[in-house]
Every structure is written in C-alpha cells, then in structure tokens.
Chains A and B, each alone.
Chain A
C-alpha cells in the first residue's frame, strides 16, 4: 500500500498548465489533506489566509469523472458510492464551487477536486483500503501509483491521446501504448542518422541548440523499439548512438542499457519518467523553424511524432544559445525547467525580527557598554535595525505562515545571539575563518549524518547502526531530567528550578539514542536545542527530546528510506524527503504531514528551509532543485544544471541566493528572486556533502568526499553578478569561468571525508567527518 499512498500525493506544482491531465487532480487530493495548522502553537496567531479560488468547472468535471471512471473500471463500486456521497454529487452533477483551495493562486491544480480537504484524506484512505480489499492483482498498488506518478511530473500541455487514455484507463499499459504506433524498426537508425546529418550541417549557431534534441529522441526511439519487442534492433540502435550522447547523461544511459525487454519497462521508475514527463527543451524560434521545416520536408513523421508527443519545446525569441549556455542548464532527468516554471513571485526577503528584540537590543547595548566595546557594534546595529524596520518589499508578510510565538528561553537565546554577533569576525578574502575539525574516530565507515546546534554547543551524529549519538562539545555535560517521582520532590518555587530538575547522576559527555531500525541518513537540531530530528532508512522521522533523551514521536508517512530532514529556522515545522519522491512538511505536534510536495522525478536527497521559513528547497537525484511554497504547496522554482544527484543545499543568510552541491563535484549558485543560475564553482573532485554560508554571507564553505574543505568568495560571486547585465527575461546566463578566482582556500584533511559544515555565531567554521584509515 505504500506505493499507493506515495503515488497519490503527487502533483501539487505546475499550476501554469493550461489543461490539466485528468488524474493530476486525483493525485492531488491528498496533498492538501492537512492544511497548514491555522493557529500557531501556544498562541493565537492569525490564521493563514485562505482565499477560495474556484477551479475551472470543466476541469473539475473532468477530474471527477476520471476518478469515478477509474474506480468503476476497477470494480470499486463501494468507493464510487463513497466518492459520490462525499462530493455530494449525483452521477453527472457538479458543484462548481466545490473546490476549496488551500492557498492563493493555486489555479486549477491544487485542490481542485474536493470540497473538503479533510474529507479528501479520509476518502483517500478508504479508496486505498478498498482497492486492496477488492483483491486486485497484487501489483495493483504499484501500478496505480505509477500511473499517478505519470502525471505529476508531466509538465507539458495537453497530450493528445495520452491524456484521454489516462482518463479512460489509467494503467501502465495505456501510458506505454503511446509507443505502440510504430514504423519499420530497421528505419529507426536511418531516421536518427539522417537527422544527425542534418543537424551537423546546419549553421553553427543553430547546431548547439538543435543538438539538444538528440538525447530525448534517442531515448524515446530506443524505448519504442524495446516496447515493440524489437530487442535486437534496440540493442543495435543503442550501441550505435549511445556514444554520441552528452557525458552527463551517462547514469541514465546505464539504466537504459540494462533494459531490453518490454516486461522490464513495467515498474521501472526511471523509464516511466522518460515516457510520461515531457522532456523540456529550450530552443530559439529560428532553430525550431529550421528543424520543423527539415522534418516536414523529409516527411520524417516518426521523429516528428516523438517530438510532438514526448518533448516540450519551449520556444523563445532571440539569439540562439551557445553550447556552453546550454550545457550549463541541461543535465537533469527531464530537460530544463520551463521558463514559466520560474516566473512565480518568491518572497525571498527575511522576516522582520520580532519586536521583542527592541528592548532586548537596548539591554544588549547596555551590556556592551559595560564591557566597553560599543563602537564596533553601533553602526552595524543601526544598519540592521533600519533594514528590519523598513518593510522589505521582497519579504513575506509576518503572518504569511503562522509561526510559533517566542518563549522566554527563545528570547534569552536571541540575546545571546546578538551578543555573540557583535563579537563576530568579519570575514573576507583577506580574513579567512579558522576551521575546527571534529573527527569521528572508530566510526568504521558508519557515520551517515552530522548536525550542530546553532550555538555550536552540541553535535549529533547519525550512524549506519541505527543509533543517533549526541555529544556536548562544551564543558557542560549532557543531563537528563529527573524521573517523575523525583520531580515531585523539587521545590517548584525556587529560582533555579530549571537547574534542579536535571539529574546530576546522568551527566555525561555523550548520549546514545536508540529507536531507529535502519541507518540514520538525516539529522537536524531544533533551533531551541530542545529537540532533535532524525530520519532513517526505516521510513520514519523521529523526534527526540534533548531533555529526557528519549524518543517523543515517530512520524510515519514515508514508507521508503527518508534521506533527509531539516527543522525550520523558526522551529515547529520540519521537512523530510526520501526515496518516495515526495517531500513532506510536518509540524512537531501533528503526526500527519501538513503538506506534501511532489514533482520530483527521483529520490529527494536533501531538504532545506529558507531562512524565512516560508519556502523550502529540495534537491533530488533527478538532478533538479525545487523550491516550494510552504503556504500553498506550490513549486515556485525549478533549477536545472547539475549533472548528478544533489546532496547539499544552503541558503545565503539574506535569503536571496541558494547554493547547491552534487555528486558531480560542482557547486552551483542560484538567484532565487530571478530564478537564475548565477555561478558555478568548480574544484571539488567528488560528491559535495555539505555547504554553508558564513553568518554574514561573505564566504561559502563546501565540504566534500574528496577530503577537502574549500572556501569560496561568495561576496564576489554575487557582486559580479549585479554588475553583469544578465537578461532576466530570457534566463540565458553567461557564466564566467572564474572558479579559481573565487576559491579562497583548500584544506585537505587526513583521509576524512567532510560531511558537515557549520559556522558558529562568531564565524568560526566547524567541520565534521569520520576518519577512514
């Protein structure tokens, strides 16, 4: 059943699709099942504004019909009844106002089906239960999920024939049947090579652009051959042309090469992605016309059909792009992101610091005065103050997302933070940070995740043996809270009650948390240091208390390994993502997810919250990064350009930029507001596992499997960009190859891969990794 659930949660993004493929909406209804909790924990913050937006009536009709048809097809009469009852519809009756959208501007996609999100989830569970009860073929679950999957990523416009088929009988065979029309298998090679010849003879300026067509064409032609049981022709075709493809598709080609039978296509996720999501290409109008004319002249219908059905060609007016420009952006599983995908407005500004800060500032300043170093601090404070007072046009409104109210302890922590911030070292190319390296000894290759608390007092490690270990790196030892019986004996009125509740006898430098039943791949401290999250191969995310050192909650939802989890910088919310390709947003006090973000075509490998908590970024092994809006679950940015699975993400402290690192050893820099790639940092020779900006954003540190920590001049990387007149409209960037200038330092460790980096509040860089002798 796991697959069913995961499959159904797909398809929240892509709001700019003109006509929805029918089952997109179906897959969608689970995504909004838990609306964002409308009150903040422990306070009465205003509810998130829910503007009801009616989905277009024809779409609703279509979607509902599709669902009903699907259920009937599968003899789930019970479910049909239920659905009809829940939706309050007679057979063909519709309620045009029934759609409830959980956010503004979701268009037709999000929440277009059901009148009530809560009902939707209950409906879903019933559907899944009854489908299993109906004793379908045991593979039913996966098939169903696959078919849902099909549409989630399908970012193209209407697919003739394909979507119709999906409505009637959403089954893999139908999806695949798009391949059934076939020509003579022997001619495939001829077609392909004639196109190749053509493209090789066109003008230089068009050649690079048109060459983009090769890879998707190659894949689809190969799959068509395989689907139609022309195994030998397929093999010959593959052998002949696989060498021509760009090297960054090597991984996919490897998967493809192992697939030679029609039966294999069933259940292979990578393939379904190829087939069902349209491969997106960006081609200038001139080049496109050239290609079109050629194909029409030659009556090359085979290729033309593939282009029409499986490719989405994003045509732009203007100069054709150069090879390097194309290479910078391509490499993802499903081509580049469409330009429209990155057009939505993103409020990347920081939230205003809570007002509680102001009196504290004065106190702080007084304290500073006592210490006798007010000079350094004042100008900085002013600039910061003025910034936060002026409403940043790019910042989201304070109540866009309900955030937890600050507790007294949080305020104390803020004061500490401000104090530390005044002692912060100003970093720069001439003033590099010191790096303190924490080596895990005797870890026997078992260290899988590390995190530091924001104040750098605790360090936690996740291990392959399912344990989570927490160390205190300050002289203050870790203590548990006393047992309930002992707590009763405490004088609750005393001033040091917080001290008294701790059990001195349990003081130790490290504690081990047992609970997971598989390797722990992701780990994250809550900002207030009271909790620790860990995600594991066993499919759960666990919340641990750092007061009692026990497990508080096991969040179940991902049924497959959860690769990463990250706490929101404001606490309370967290995100998790894993093998099931869905990122989930949770609140610590809800055992079900609040949001499900689906759209990635492969595993989600890393997750990261934006500093303002309104957005989160996910990196995936489909080699894209997506930015999601927490409020409405929309995908607001898709960044392509990496050539390998992404393993590290970092937001700049001002929230404007995102850095990402992948197995290809490159760090890419992205401008979130414009949705553009703005830099490429080459130097690492192996997977980058950690990225971090210094506290003021001047330095970007990257740690990699190649046993190095590298420091990059982030200021310069982003400054250059502002002087550069990049064309935000077209999104065509000219990347300078200035990695060497930006590289400020390379520090080699002694056979210790660097898997985590952290800047302390005073800008000391902490790094961590396991020593592998």
Chain B
C-alpha cells in the first residue's frame, strides 16, 4: 500500500493490454483504444474498492495477511459472485506464458488420472484446534519457559557483550564532556558528580544475582548433570539445551564446567569429565544462548579433555578415547559456529594441535587427541595436515608395534592412533586418489600404514558406491510420487516442498530441507523461494 502511494496514487491503473487480452478471451476482438482506457480505469477503480473492503475483513479476522476469502467476502458485500477455485491458502494457481509478443496469465488445468488420486496415500489429517494455557507473567515477571519468548534475545546478549563500555568512553558523548568540565572546575563537587554519573553510566548488564528460583534451578541442574541418575541427567541436559531463559546463569555454568574439568583432570575422574562435556554440548545446542562471551572458559576445558595426558585412573582399561573423540567433535562444532576472522579460533586450535603432535616427546594419548581434534575439523584439514605426515607417523607406530615391548600402554595408544588415522584418512584418500588402488603404491606413499590404508580405501569406495545406489533408489521413488502428485496438484514447487518437508520432518531433520531442495530440486527451490516464501508467510 505504501508503495502504491509513493508512486503517484492517481495514476495506478491496469495496462490497456490486459483489457485487450481479456476482451479477446471472451470473444471480443478489436477493442478500440479508447474503450480500453475507459475500461481499465473503471476496472482499476473497482479493484481498489474491493481491495479496501477486503482489508476490513482482514482486520476483523485479526490477521496480518490478506487471504482469498477476504476478497470473496468483499465481493459478497458488493453483491458480486465470489471467484470460485481460489480457496488455497498458499498460492494462486496462475501460470504465465509469453510468446509472439504477447504475455498471458492463465489458469492451468491439467488432466488428472482418477486412479492415481485413489492410489495416493492420504495426507496427514490436520490437527484440531486446541487450547493450551501458560503463564505469560507471574506478578509482573515473565517466567522463562519455552512458551514465552526468550527474555533476552541473542542479539541483545551479543550487543551487551560486544559493545560493553560504549557509554563510558570519555569525550564520545555530551555527558562525558560535561562531566569532564565540572570535574576540572570544582574538585569536590566534581567528584560527587562523578560518582553520581558513574552510577548512572554503569553499563546495563545482565543481573548477577539470581533469584531464589534460579538458584534452586541451578543447583538442581548441576547436581543432576554430575549426579548418578542417568534419567535425571538426560532431563537436565534437555532443559539446558532447550530452555530459553538460561542466559543469566550462563556465567555460572561456564565456570562450573571449567572448574570441574580442572579438578577432575587432576583426579582422573573420567565419568565426571564426560558429564561435563555433555553439558557443554547441551549449552551449545541451546539456540537462545550467546556463548561467545564464555568461550575463553569453555574451549580450554574442551581442549583439556582432548589432549590431556591422562584422563582416567587406568588408561589401559578405561575408554578415555571415546571422551577424546566426543570432545574433539565438540571442538569442531564450536570452531564451525564461533570461528570468525577476528577470533580465529579454528586456526589457533589447529596450530595448538599440530604443534603438540609434531613434538616427538608427546605421549600417545595426547597424540591421539591432537589427531582426533584435527581430523574432526574436516577433510580439508586432513588433506593438508594429516596426510603428509602419515609416513612419519606410520614409522612411529611401527616402532612401537614391532619393536621391543616398552609398555602395554604405549602399545594400546599406538594401536588407537593407527585405527584413528585409518578411519579418517581412508575416506579422504578415496576421494582424492584415482583408482586403481595399488598396495605397493600405497606403501611407497604412506609407508608402514600403506597396505592397511589401501584395504580401508577400497572398503570406503565400495561403501560409497553402495550408498550412492541407495540414494538413487530413494530419489527414484520420490520422483515417482512427484509424477503422480503433479497430476493432481498444479504447482510442482509446492508439492515438492510439501513432500520433501513431510519426508524430512519424518526423519526429524527439517533444517536440511532447504539444502535438500537446493541439491535435488534446483528449479523448485529457486522458484519456491521467490513465489512462495516472499509473501512473508514463513511456512
């Protein structure tokens, strides 16, 4: 509307060509230009009138979006027969065609095979209207529950942490200069004022005092997280991962974790370390938290769990390798989400890992952690940092495995490092190395690990081929369904989207829908983005 207003209100009329096209469609050829002008003005006026009436219905329907039924109702007001066939909430089934210098919009009607309709499975039944109550506010305070919006949105948390002392910078604001002057003029007064001003200009920060409920919550959650009851822990972690109102407790959580790691590494308490890492994971999963502020505490804790020399009392029996793997994955995830050009997390982490890996004196446990940490960062890192060192590492492993028995622990460590390397490198090599896989060739390239790598690579190749086949098959079935559905519905983009949405929501991963669309239905995804999402519907 506003746009319409900006472009000279009076003169917005339909083009006369449309009038001609419409006249032709009802069998009136050769309409004179004058009549076209008269008609288009009249039609434009009526359309505007109806649109204004339709707005009324929208307002009374308590909506922000004008629907086709509003237009129908507006027509009804004017005693005009409503337009039938536009009941769809989502789109208007017009098609556009041009050719021979003409442009047309038409309603596409396709033949539909009845048996196809009968044979297609029915769509899910829409849910019935239901009523749900929650507390929007309790005595003036909004409780932080999932039903309410997060009390401090992520942007606000970010703004607080990234522009912390903007207000206090001297000379930047008028107040600052005034304060400076008064301070210079009369010292005692100025001081008083300074204090006063200082109070006023304290940066608005998240309160550090927790309410009694929050304290209780914090206590309960931390106890459950490191306690012995697994069910309780799962619940607590779920709460950390989903609750919107945790940002005030975030500093405490991060301190809890970093201190916890510090203590438990010394005490070699593997179980507690695992619990703490799971807390980190839950915090990272929570979409309402702005974690950047606390990375300085969390990252060292995580890295400790990856590379620490000893994480458990009996390294030969306990599976501390799993913790290292898990923590490495966490590290990779935080690199992905938090690494920016300013904080350079990824490169700093990579450097740390590489440095200790290159050190000859590094123990096998740490070595394992470094490699795991690097490998999780993705195939590119593997390619540039790990593959070139395979031969050296292989020699080291060989020395332990085939040399004189030094200690059982070393042997186990070397064994784990070997399988880790094989696991991560095989898939990467499978991609970058051309076939055929020659064992001798591998041996010359990668030394001791060569032959084993070769067999792993071959396995990876066959697996990839198998997967590709499966993917093909599923897409085939999907396209078949598409074909059927396309006959029923008219707009493929909507159908594909809907169908894929169904598919993905069934597999619980809606986030990758757009990705799937981009890859599999390129035409649809672009079209859908333009035609379907733009009216601001969201879904």
Contacts and interface: CB of A to CB of B under 8 A. Distances in A.
B232 to A, nearest CB: 28
Given A253-B9, A447-B62, A705-B62, A745 B132 contact: no
Interface in A56-111: none
A432 B77 contact: no
Q: Which of B8, B65, B130, B539 has the most CB of A within 10 A?
A: B130
A473 interface: yes
Interface in B1-47: 1, 4-5, 8-11, 41-42, 44-45
A254 B132 contact: no
Contacts of B539: 773
A687 interface: yes
B137 to A, nearest CB: 4
Nearest to A142: B79
B362 to A, nearest CB: 51
Interface stretch (B121-129, B234-242, B488-496): B121-129
Interface in A150-182: none
A260 B77 contact: no
A47 to B, nearest CB: 38
A711 B140 CA distance: 9
A476 B223 CA distance: 40
Interface stretch (B52-60, B266-274, B396-404): B52-60
B229 interface: no
B135 A560 contact: no
Interface stretch (B96-104, B142-150, B461-469): B142-150
B209 to A, nearest CB: 20
Given A235-B11, A748-B149, A749-B149, A767 B52 contact: no
B59 A687 contact: yes
Given A432-B140, A747-B137, A459 B131 contact: yes
Interface in A471-497: 471, 473
A122 to B, nearest CB: 27
B398 to A, nearest CB: 59
Interface string A124-165: 000000000000000000000000000000000000000000
B143 to A, nearest CB: 10
A633 interface: no
Contacts of A446: 129
Contacts of B134: 436-437, 439
A439 to B, nearest CB: 5
Contacts of A747: 136-137, 142
Interface in B75-133: 77, 89, 126-133
Interface string B133-163: 1111111101000011100000000000000
B63 A445 contact: yes
Interface in B336-380: none
A442 B129 CA distance: 5
Contacts of A463: 129
Contacts of A447: 62, 129
A448 B61 CA distance: 5
Contact of A519 (B1, B59, B61, B65): B61
B233 to A, nearest CB: 28
A653 interface: no
A476 B539 CA distance: 37
B49 interface: yes
Interface string A628-666: 000000000000000001010000000000000001000
Contacts of A432: 137, 139-140
A744 B133 CA distance: 23
B460 to A, nearest CB: 42
Nearest to A442: B127
A144 to B, nearest CB: 16
A473 B133 contact: yes
Interface in A718-773: 744-745, 747-750, 753, 755, 765, 767, 770, 773
A254 B130 CA distance: 40
B538 interface: yes
Contact of B10 (A239, A442, A471, A767): A239
Contacts of A436: 133-136
A interface secondary structure, majority: mixed
Interface in B396-418: none
Contacts of B60: 448, 519, 521, 561, 563, 605
Contacts of A518: 73
Interface in A600-628: 603, 605, 621
B129 A603 contact: no
Contact of A260 (B10, B64, B126): B10
B135 A435 contact: yes
Nearest to B127: A442
B133 A441 contact: no
Contacts of A711: 140
A678 interface: no
B249 to A, nearest CB: 21
B10 A435 contact: no
A621 B49 CA distance: 16
Contact of B77 (A242, A464, A519, A579): A579
B135 A434 contact: yes
Given A447-B62, A647-B59, A440 B73 contact: no
Q: Which of A238, A443, A537, A663 has the most CB of B within 10 A?
A: A537
B264 interface: no
A250 interface: yes
A689 interface: yes
Nearest to A255: B52
A464 B64 contact: no
A260 B45 contact: yes
B42 to A, nearest CB: 8
Interface in A444-478: 444-448, 459, 461, 463-464, 469, 471, 473
Given A253-B9, A434-B139, A561-B60, 7 more contacts: A234-B10, A432-B137, A433-B139, A437-B147, A443-B129, A447-B129, A749-B149
29 contacts: A238-B9, A253-B9, A254-B5, A258-B9, A435-B136, A435-B137, A436-B135, A438-B132, A439-B131, A439-B133, A440-B130, A440-B131, A441-B129, A441-B131, A442-B126, A442-B128, A442-B129, A464-B61, A471-B131, A519-B69, A537-B57, A603-B56, A647-B59, A748-B148, A749-B136, A750-B148, A755-B62, A765-B137, A773-B539
